[in-house]
Each structure stands twice: as C-alpha cells, then as structure tokens.
Amino acid sequence: MIFLRYESFGSYLRLYPVTSTLIALNLIYFIVVAMSGNTTDAGHLFEYGAFVTEAGHDPYGMIEPWRYLTAMFMHAGLEHLLYNMFALLIFAPPLERLLGSVRYAFFYVLCGIAGNVMSALANTIESDSGIHIGVGASGAIYGVYGAFLFLSLLRKAQLDESSRKTVYTILIFGVIYSLLVPRVDLWAHVGGALGGFLLYQLFERKPARGRRHHT
C-alpha cells in the first residue's frame, strides 16, 4: 500500500521536498491571510489573490491571470486548509517519488491551473452565475488523484491492488462530496483530475533503455 506513511518528520522532509514545501506555503499563506482578516470572507480572499470570474465582464478570469496560481495556496477557513493538507501529506509523496521532484512540481502547478480553467469555463456556461470566487489546493490535489487513476487503469503493474482500490474510493467519495457539500467547486475538482490524468504520461519518467554491447 503506497499511501501508508511510515517516515519520520526529518525523513519526510528529505524524501519529499516539494510536497513539504507546498504544505509549508499553504500553511504560511493561510496564517498571513488570517492575521489580517476573516479567511471565509469573499472580499478579503479577493484582496489576497483568490481566483475570480465574473459573468459578462471577466468570465475567464483573464484580467488578472496571476490569480490562477495564487488561489492554489489559499483556503477558506481552517477546516478547508486541514482537509487539503492532510490529502497532500498522505497521497502526494508517492507521486513525487514516481515523477521526480522537478517534474512533480510542474505537474502539480499545471493541475491546479487546469482546475481553475475548468471552473472558469463551467461558470461562464452558467450565464446567471454572476461573480465566482474560488480558493484552495484541491484542483491540484485532484490532479494527483488523476495521475493515480491513470496508473490504476493503464499502468496496473506500478500499483498494488489495495492502492488501486484506494484511488477508486477517493475519487468516488470526492464526486459525492463535491455534489452534496455547499460551496465546493465540483468543476475545479473535475478539471484538476482530468488534467492529472492527461498530463501524467507527459511527465512520467521513461525507463532507461538497455545499452547495446558490441563485440
């Protein structure tokens, strides 16, 4: 079971430097935002970099495109933060080992952006959606899940049966949770997962070819 974590704190930091950095950045930025106001207030989140789309004015959030990135490191409340950081802490490390830290860092960011892109498209189609404000690392985290779904379906030899079942369970639960819980951005989750599934093959490390011996 690749999702069980046995590392000490020091070993975790050494083995998974990007995941550790991402968790630290999310925690630090949450503290920064919380020290200056309410982390569940839409106006306050907007001031600190939340992702925003506005039907009829800026439906794709392109007036300030940097928000596609900054929103990935923001959370609406402590519960939101802890839920996402727990997921990142447990499920991201195996992917960092599989891709390598540099590839994994780019993969994570692109999946987070993909989640916001899908959210923007969905909220644009819903003409009465008005202003939509989104924050959270869940788009990128669902990208991690999407990568493991790719492995579960197309690279079965790389995952044990228990890990594959865990991936399916997480995704099913995630869809149900996203549909039932108010204010959860389903389309950001879908976009992140789809991005992870499609991008994984581009980022995976190819096995080294055997050298030919000449006689």
Which SS3 state, helix, strand or coil, does residue 78 take?
A: helix
Is 189 considered catalytic here? Answer: yes
Distance CA 155, CA 101 (A): 20
- Cα-Cα-Cα-Cα dihedral sign, residues 54, 75, 35, 105: negative
Which residues are within 8 A (CB) of 86 and not within 5 positions of it... i.e. 6 or more apart? none
**Selected catalytic residue, list 75, 80, 132, 189:** 189
**Selected catalytic residue, list 11, 138, 162, 178:** 138
Is 57 considered catalytic here? Answer: no
Tell me the catalytic residues. 138, 189
